[in-house]
Structure 1
């Protein structure tokens, strides 16, 4: 056999050889040895059938390098990461893979503890991508595929006292790679734990916990199957169950059920002659009945996220503390469910979901999406040669994770088309674990699943599905089956860049229709890879940044968290949308309406704090006396006597934790509601209408300064061009009408309809202005112009009207579209520039964070302050960001206190940046944006909505900004 011939197992349909039957991971008093740590490593360019003896204990690996395990070798400088969404980065020629196949050889010498018992032992790999072959003390154990699935080998007969050698050869590509096309970085290596486990001959080989709850009686039943230990005994001391027989169903009386809202766990021990096993048990029953998905008899409303495993430095080798951080962030942002897209997570993550409380859709390690690009020809899902591999993957998923009460649905996989192999997986799952329904999105007919699941269905279709009025299936029996199923959006709200918009409208549909039981926003975190420049500048790479020939750019950055786990504005908005308590103050009626939207828990343990602010300054606060409200119920609570309004006055009611919880401290805010007490515009800070010219007095009318300028209150304008030169001596660049924004990912819409392409096609990124006239009209200085793109007939007639009350400079801008506009506007407002020293920002309006018209639910009215730099959101691909909505007034201030005040009549949106829109549009990464010598201030009447067209529906009609007539009125005054 030639030395360079590929090993046969690489292109074998068989999933493994030499591995043990799958089983659950459990905690035992039997000895175990953690084999994580520093291994020796070398990278070969191709896969060869033979070895040079590296598996032998005495092999000299001194020329190799060190590599941590768990790890992906590409994240440590060996080869490069590569990202594709759908496309396979190799020819579609199943089951064959390229000759160029990076192969990593790993070696680990370790000393067996002196007290290690003689007898059986198991070597466990929790995750190796994509195919590996293992040797122990020079003896081959076998091979395994299924990157995100555990594999175990018997090694007790090979153990030696003292020094032992483990050798593992890992291939980047294998036949199994066709089953793992999961919209993520292609990364390789031993990326999860490696453990040696002693297995007592009279111990417990496997554990299956069946803990059901009868919601009608409040009682639980428990059966624990202990494989290999028929005489094992089960104890749950808290329930009075002591040394009960395993394998037998026991009624344990009244129990507190497990739910994501109240994650009650009971500690159990299973004892065999040679081993004690510990388990944490949650009693709950999952079913589909009456056309609804229910847990413990109650329908669920899933407020979920899709979660890939990701860390910007370690890839999918995620540390446990980071997993815990993820769960805590989810809980603190009102997320109650996770879909483990698109593979089973590290089992530690499921332990955390059990402990802290999240519903889990546990997805099998399966996706063949790349076959869609060839019309699904030769798709493994319908090829009998792949049947064993499909069944192996679902078997390993179910057997590993079946003891987790958080897991309520088994998902067969993702975007793998249709076929008999998927149906066989569903049948196997129902036979071996009938306690959970089966999910799979890819078959629209839903013939072999228990929930109707869709991705990115637009709002009107979700509305129709909610009423069971969706499009009919060809087969009446199939149609009747699907209409009888609960509906879940397994992916929606594509969180790529700025956005996503439309979440509020989706949530209202979920609440309107019982059948619509929520969904999972795509996705949890941006998969950016941390990079550092020689000067220390840190940034995050995406597809194409590693020289990939084939890649999908920043489509890998579509999360609610930025790569460093800083919550994006989209996550803040989602937390508000799915808040578990809805608060609606009615100060005119003297009440506040409080609705408990939880499915299981009441509102005990919550504090309701009211606060009244006038122009953002505190006028009074206190605690409301709110009765305990049952799940789904509403109470109208009387308000106390509120302070007298002072200017524009707002009442805010905040719902907070009264005590510490395992996932958040006392005082953590769950929800809030606001209502205006004083009228908008009633306060002294709001700009007054410009006085009539005849009554202006005190410098109210414009006058020529004699040097080619016009003085209007604190403003100085060029008499010929009408350009604003300064305000109160502060040099500014004149406000010009601006229609363009740096397109967001949702504007670009790589997998949807691109409104940005329409905008560029209409020339909105290259507008030019033609001055028509300047001069006094009825005592007001008026500048008339026409704004239009080159090579197009469309345009806008624009009028600037300048006036003053003596202290403030007022600008009214009116615009009217001419011609047949083929698209909505990106924005309407004015752009001006001010000195770079004005870096302090304070405003009264909505905040504190970024908001756009369809992503504004988390912005409350108040007085806020930050810096120009603090206004920016550093999305991985620079784009329109940082907008603050409905400002009544804004102050940009220098360090010496001087600056510029802008007032609205009544409100305006604003952004402020140290670079212009053209630079923002041109940059590929945030660190490429270079601050200039001016701050670019955008003052907008409105923006076009954001939508979620990067992968989903575009901007809803109510959030479109159509060309037509527009008007914005602003006041300017110097500060200090």
Structure 2
């Protein structure tokens, strides 16, 4: 047993003891291996010293222990509870000490060797990921201990293995000195959460190898050299290569890129082993102030990806990893930052195969030290430098042979210090072929890329135009937004405005939206749980749910918007001159893989369609392509050309016909709805009748339109605040949700001033204002009719000193017996002023239930933008101008009060909002708010709606 006490090794700042040096990871070879994944015996203790080490000895009876699956996290398997914090350490900050209350899981696995296990050579026991500190025994012999949760650790075990009855014991502590280096805005989830494997190491087998595969874009040739610790030969049959290790060879090749991920299968053969190689030839360089791959600048259209599954946490299987990559490719994403640790190694293999640029990030973040002004920060304390270098080495050595990895990242939000400098120097020395990234280095002392988080549009534009200063400017470093577009709840907004800047200024080489997936934990009562739902004393609520995917991997409207914003083909024009401009926005690929088509649509219905011949434009090239003449028999009405680019043939990531890009061009303008004021208001029996409208004679309130009952129609300015409305606590002046509540916009009162039945109109005058405030909106409802249809014109004039924009401005009312909705306007999904790029003008149908967007924390959602007309049950509504449509089976107030989806109980009434406008979305939950042009100012406004009875929409 160990001579050190448990506390000594847990609180030791070193990376551990006993583990073998890091080396390249590869999935398989012809050497034997077998997995120890499966059910393990498990015992949980409250403290690190609660139990002795006798469980590690052969013969120990663990029959009364629980069982847990490995890979897995014990807190997701009924043993303790998960904890979520963004940056606060959930224990006292006293490095390297950790609390006595330190949940400790003893894991036990008894296994036999396969019957054909070789008798010669050595063997290695490999752990691909354990959080946060593990101590390991095999057959009673202690192998060592290690920290570095998202990194591999191997132990030599050949001399200890037996044919049968091997006892593997692993003690895992939730907290250790390593926890101070792993404060990464995620759930704290202890356990053996990645694979455990035994690998046979024959005599003469590969210890480590480094595939150097560069590409010279001027000659079209690649140079391959494979360095190995063991002499051998390298063969690549498709290239006719058969060379000794360490020997370079140059041959004509097809280069690897994220757009054209050409891999060559090869073999590294030594005396004891044959290791498969997947070689991608590409060269990464900083040139002319830009990141270039194969001689061309790249534009990152990326996401930050935490590993997550709503039931298994960070214990991902290969199918889930592949689903992530396929979803990214199908949504035009070309890059991943592995926030904030190296992913499961199989994920990088998928990036090689299917094509994604990768920023591979080290398992390092010390964000919680901001609470004490970075005092005692480990990255500026020489005692911790060996642990930092170990983490850097384990990342680089494991992942160095992946062509998809084009940038190394030192970590995230760890301040600055000597340890980071040591890491950067080591990485530059070990692998000078890739740039080094780190966002938290304002002087760019240790980095090759100027990286920022959540810089606003104006600042990004200044940088793009070269109007900024500092070392990054003097060194002509490119800018990459390693985080932007915070995708928390409804949002993010403003992505199209960022992309326009990226497309305009060469120095801006794109960015990575935060983040890929909501980290909601599946919960039987709440739907999905977030911070605080497990009784945590410190937590950051639903800040952990800030992804472009919902926890079940359904794309959010934010991902649909991002796909459109970053599409690799531009399709533009005004549609009236008979041409469409097509621009290839790829960095490497031409357009030969795409098929183009057109359709001519009137009032959202396709009248005619056909193929569109588009040349195989080179990257960056444009062409004006002639459209056909409009169909001569097309009906009158608003018309559009819609041009689509789809895959001409299936690819490994999507089938033939997959939509890659689209554009919509106006062809004929909309006719404004008109209703002549010919009917007269008629009073009697306590009501006023005007055409199909029935009103309360005393209050002027609309009661019915024909046979359709209508309740509580009135001006509405409130929305259930979004995560971005509520904003970040460190930016109080921009937290619009808080400012709106202070103004009282969530508790508006409606005062009736007059009901006037005139010759051709019913006019209702009101004042809408919050209690305790002198601000308000003078509001006039003017009703007219032509006998069949009813027109409402709403006029509002703000009174008092309005200092903030409005959340929304429109009318709200209740209807019964509405199940399906049909509309002509933007769709099929939700859209708001700064999240509308993906809205296609068309004719759409939906159930009321499917109009809702199921954000983990309920909030304003589901608006359809630019609606010309809508059918709600038997009611038809036309807008002048077009409006935003929302319909739901609960009130805005009920939505605002809900904290989880389970709080929303459908009622009999469908509440409809017809909005003249809404405030933009932005990404103020962590980033900038909506740009000023997306604000909804409190200013005089007038808008109209025309109501009439119609046949209810049908399914479809």
Give me the TM-score of the superposition, normalised by structure 1.
Answer: 0.96
Distance in 2 between the 1:716 and 1:625 partners? 56
Aligned-pair CA distance for 1:5: 6.7
Measured after TM superposition, the shift of residue 6 of structure 1 is 4.0
- Partner of residue 862 from structure 1, selected from 828, 842, 847: 842
SS at match of 1:732: strand
Q: Given that residues 45 and 51 in structure 2 are in contact (C-alpha distance below 8 angstroms), is that contact kept between their aligned partners in structure 1?
A: no
Alignment partners' CA distance in 1, 2:7 and 2:294: 51
Residue 25 of structure 1 and its aligned partner are, at CA, apart by 1.0
- In structure 2, what is the equivalent of residue 518 of structure 1? 510
Where 2:855 maps in the other structure, the secondary structure is coil
C-alpha offsets along residues 165-189 of structure 1, whole Å, 9 cap, x if unaligned?
A: 1110000000000000000000010
Offset, 1:866? 0.5
**Aligned 8 A contact 1:7 1:49 in 2:** no
Contact 1:40 1:61 survives alignment (8 Å): yes
Report the alpha carbon displacement of residue 728 of structure 1 after superposing the two structures with TM. 0.8
Structure 2 matches for 1:403-482, cutoff 5 A? 403-470=401-468, 472-473=469-470, 478=471, 481-482=474-475
Specify which of 160, 163, 172 is matched with residue 161 of structure 1: 163
2:918 is matched with 943
Match among 669, 675, 678 for residue 679 of structure 1: 669
Structure 1 segments unaligned to the other structure (5+ residues): 894-898
The residue correspondences of 1:776-855 to structure 2 (distance < 5 A) are: 776-777=757-758, 779-835=760-816, 837-855=817-835
Match of 2:565 among 577, 587, 592: 577
CA distance in 1, matches of 2:571, 2:828: 20
The separation in 1 between residues aligned to 2:458 and 2:885, in whole angstroms, is 32
Q: Shift in Å at residue 4 of structure 1?
A: 13
1:606 aligns with 2:594: yes
Q: How many Å apart are 1:585 and its aligned residue? A: 4.2
- How much does 1:816 deviate? 0.6
**Offset, 1:374:** 1.0
1:479, CA displacement in angstroms? 5.5
Cα displacement (A) at 1:204: 1.0
* From 392, 396, 401, the counterpart of 2:390: 392
Are 2:576 and 2:666, in contact at CA under 8 Å, matched by a contact in 1?
no
Report the counterpart of residue 140 of structure 2 in structure 1: 138
SS of corresponding position for 2:503: helix
Question: Are 2:852 and 1:872 equivalent residues in the alignment?
Answer: yes
Q: In the alignment, does 2:486 pair up with 1:489?
A: no
Give me the whole-angstrom Cα distance separating, in 1, the residues matched to 2:40 and 2:277. 32
CA contact (8 A) 1:5 1:49 kept: no
Kept in 1, the 8 Å contact 2:450–2:472? The answer is no
For the Cα contact (< 8 Å) 2:890–2:911, is it kept in 1?
yes
Contact 1:828 1:966 in 2 (8 A): no
TM-superposed CA distance for 1:712, in Å, is: 1.0
Deviations 1:87-118 (A, max 9, x none): 00000100000000000000111111122123
CA contact (8 A) 2:31 2:273 kept: yes
> What TM-score results when the alignment is normalised by the length of structure 2?
0.98
> In 1, Cα distance between the equivalents of 2:940 and 2:553?
42
For 1:555-574, what aligned pairs fall within 5 Å after superposition? Answer: 555-574=543-562
**Partner Cα separation in structure 2 for residue 4 and residue 11 of structure 1:** 11
Residue 246 (str. 1) matches residue 245 (str. 2): yes
Q: For 1:33-82, what per-residue CA distance to the aligned partner results, in whole angstroms no more than 9, with x for missing partners?
A: 11101111111111028724100121000010111000000110100011
Give CA-to-partner distance per residue, 1:286-320, whole Å, 9 cap, x none: 01111000000000000000000000000000111
Contact 2:761 2:782 in 1 (8 A): yes
1:933, CA displacement in angstroms? 1.9
Equivalence for 1:379? 377
Among 753, 756, 774, the residue aligned to 1:775: 756
Give the Å deviation of 1:137.
0.8
CA distance in 1, matches of 2:709, 2:183: 56
Alignment-derived partner of residue 930 in structure 2: 955
C-alpha spacing 1:414/1:578, structure 2 compared with 1 (3 Å): same
Residue 715 of structure 1: CA displacement? 0.7
Matches within 5 A, 1:749-768: 749-751=727-729, 752=731, 753-768=734-749
RMSD: 1.4
CA distance change for structure 1 residues 789 and 163 in 2, over 3 Å: closer, same or farther? same
Q: Distance in 2 between matches of 1:347 and 1:363?
A: 13
Distance 2:812 2:301 in 1: 39
Counterpart position of 1:896: none
Partners of 1:468 and 1:446 in 2: CA distance: 17
Alpha-carbon distance in structure 2 between the residues aligned to 1:5 and 1:720: 84
Structure 2 Cα separation of the partners of residues 192 and 640 of structure 1: 57
CA distance in 2, matches of 1:526, 1:305: 13
Q: The residue matched to 1:498 in structure 2 has which SS?
A: coil
Pair 1:83 & 2:61 matched = no
Shift of 1:806: 1.3
* Number of the residue aligned with 1:622: 610
Look up the SS of the partner of 2:81 in the other structure.
Answer: coil
Q: 1:529 to 1:914 in 2, by over 3 A?
A: same
Say how many residue pairs are matched: 944
Change in Cα spacing, 1:333 to 1:2, as seen in structure 2 (3 Å) is closer
CA drift at 1:391: 0.4
Aligned residue number for residue 638 of structure 2: 648
Gaps (5+ residues) in structure 2?
952-956
2:165 aligned counterpart, secondary structure: strand
Q: Does 1:745 align with 2:723?
A: yes
1:659 equivalenced with 2:649 (yes/no):
yes
CA contact (8 A) 1:122 1:153 kept: yes
What are the Cα deviations for residues 647-700 of structure 1, in whole angstroms up to 9, with x where unaligned? 11111001100100100001100110001212112xxxx631x32x4xx1xxx2
Correspondence for 1:211 = 213
**CA deviation digits over 1:167-217, x for unaligned, max 9?**
100000000000000000000100000000011121111121000000111
What CA distance in whole angstroms lies between the structure 2 residues aligned with 1:617 and 1:962?
35
Are 1:178 and 2:180 matched, yes or no?
Answer: yes
For residues 312-371 of structure 1, the C-alpha deviation after alignment (integer angstroms, 9 at most, x for no partner) is 000000111010000000000000000000000000100000000000000000000000
Q: Is 1:703 matched with 2:682?
A: yes
CA distance in 2, matches of 1:740, 1:5: 60
- Equivalent pair of 2:466/2:473 in contact (CA under 8 Å): no
The answer to whether structure 1 residue 892 and structure 2 residue 872 are counterparts is: yes
1:371-414 C-alpha deviation (Å, 9 max, x unpaired) = 01111110011000100011000000000000000000000000
User: Which residue does the alignment assign to 1:369?
Assistant: 367
The 2-side partners of 1:119 and 1:270 are apart by: 19
Aligned to 1:108: 109
In structure 1, how many angstroms separate the alpha carbons of the residues matched to 2:614 and 2:472? Answer: 47
Q: Say if 1:4 and 1:49, in contact at 8 Å, map to a contact too.
A: no
CA contact (8 A) 1:416 1:442 kept: yes
* Counterpart for residue 201 of structure 1: 203
Separation (CA, whole Å) in 2 of partners of 1:211 and 1:869: 53
1:585–1:651 contact (8 Å) kept in structure 2: no
User: Following TM superposition, by how much is the alpha carbon of 1:163 offset from its aligned partner in structure 2, in angstroms?
Assistant: 2.1
Distance change (3 Å), C-alpha of 1:592 and 1:167: same
Which of 681, 691, 696 is the matching residue for 1:718? 696
Rounded Cα–Cα distance in structure 2 between residues aligned with 1:794 and 1:74: 51
Question: In the aligned structure 2, how far is the partner of 1:586 from the partner of 1:505?
Answer: 20
